[in-house]
Chains A and B, each alone.
Chain A
């Protein structure tokens, strides 16, 4: 079974068209062997009522309502926790991804890959504010993590359930999901996916992400390399500090005593 998970936060207008498109694609390709899990992350624009009516009309629609807004990472986690399929595909709730790409991703999984990432090659967002930082961030993440992907930010990715089920995400770590999958020994590939301009609602991200991405990246790198041997990292800085202190001590003693041994008085 294929599980689609959709984090929803105030996307009332986008949900209807998104669901119709998804249903068309999934029913054509997989008849009834699929489910879609909407995780309502504390929306307050009527998305909750709309999702309830969708769930009432179609048994394949599952809905999880959060008590309040917990953020996109928590919503994705909930989607993975409740998913029952052996293939899990997170989608954006804003309708910018195209469900037509799903069958191609699943074909990649059937070739033997465990993660297939979407790559929004032709991205339809504000160039300076969204795309440029994103390109830099992706280059940086690829270089630091050793997972070569062009687009970590694209939520449309396909995962085999076994590489994603045990993963626990905190903060805003959903961007680094392929890296977690890599630790589970996943083989990763990517395909270009189409991307539509946002029609309704507004983006919930801005430029302040850059620093957060850098900090998250340090965390991921730390967890990857030093989680089982934290002493190596802390000990390295400790020894560096000790050696520096030793050096400064010797220097200080030298400065204090050099006049004593000097044959010529320096300050007549």
Chain B
């Protein structure tokens, strides 16, 4: 009983993890947001990551 319950919990948690991965991708890609923040650049004047 507990074995089956724990197994299904594991499966559900992993599936939820996969859904969460989809959501983070939707979050970042829908607003074209980078996963880093730039303080300063050298020899890259005026260029941004979007170029």
Contact = CB atoms under 8 A, between A and B. Distances in A.
A219 B42 contact: no
B39 A77 contact: no
Interface stretch (A14-22, A55-63, A204-212, A255-263): A55-63
A135 to B, nearest CB: 25
A239 to B, nearest CB: 13
B39 A66 contact: yes
A241 B24 contact: no
B6 interface: no
A63 B43 contact: yes
A182 B29 CA distance: 20
Query: Which of B24, B28, B41: most chain A CB closer than 10 A?
Result: B41
Interface stretch (A86-94, A105-113, A227-235): A227-235
Interface in A206-253: 215, 218-219, 222-223, 226-227, 230, 233-234, 237, 241
Contacts of B11: 237
B23 to A, nearest CB: 11
Q: For the side of the interface on B, what is the size category?
A: 20 to 34
A218 B43 contact: no
Contact of A67 (B17, B24, B35, B39): B39
Interface string B26-51: 00110000111111111110010111
A160 B47 CA distance: 21
Contacts, number: 86
Contact of B38 (A61, A65, A73, A84): A65
Contacts of A82: 41, 44, 47, 49
B18 interface: yes
A187 interface: no
B33 to A, nearest CB: 10
Contacts of B17: 215, 218-219
A59 B22 contact: no
A170 interface: yes
A65 B43 contact: no
B35 A70 contact: yes
Closest 10 CB pairs of A and B: A81-B49, A55-B42, A63-B42, A74-B36, A67-B37, A70-B36, A65-B40, A62-B43, A65-B39, A67-B39
21 contacts: A59-B43, A60-B43, A61-B42, A62-B41, A63-B43, A65-B39, A65-B41, A66-B38, A67-B39, A70-B35, A73-B35, A82-B41, A82-B49, A84-B47, A168-B28, A170-B21, A215-B17, A230-B18, A230-B19, A230-B22, A237-B11
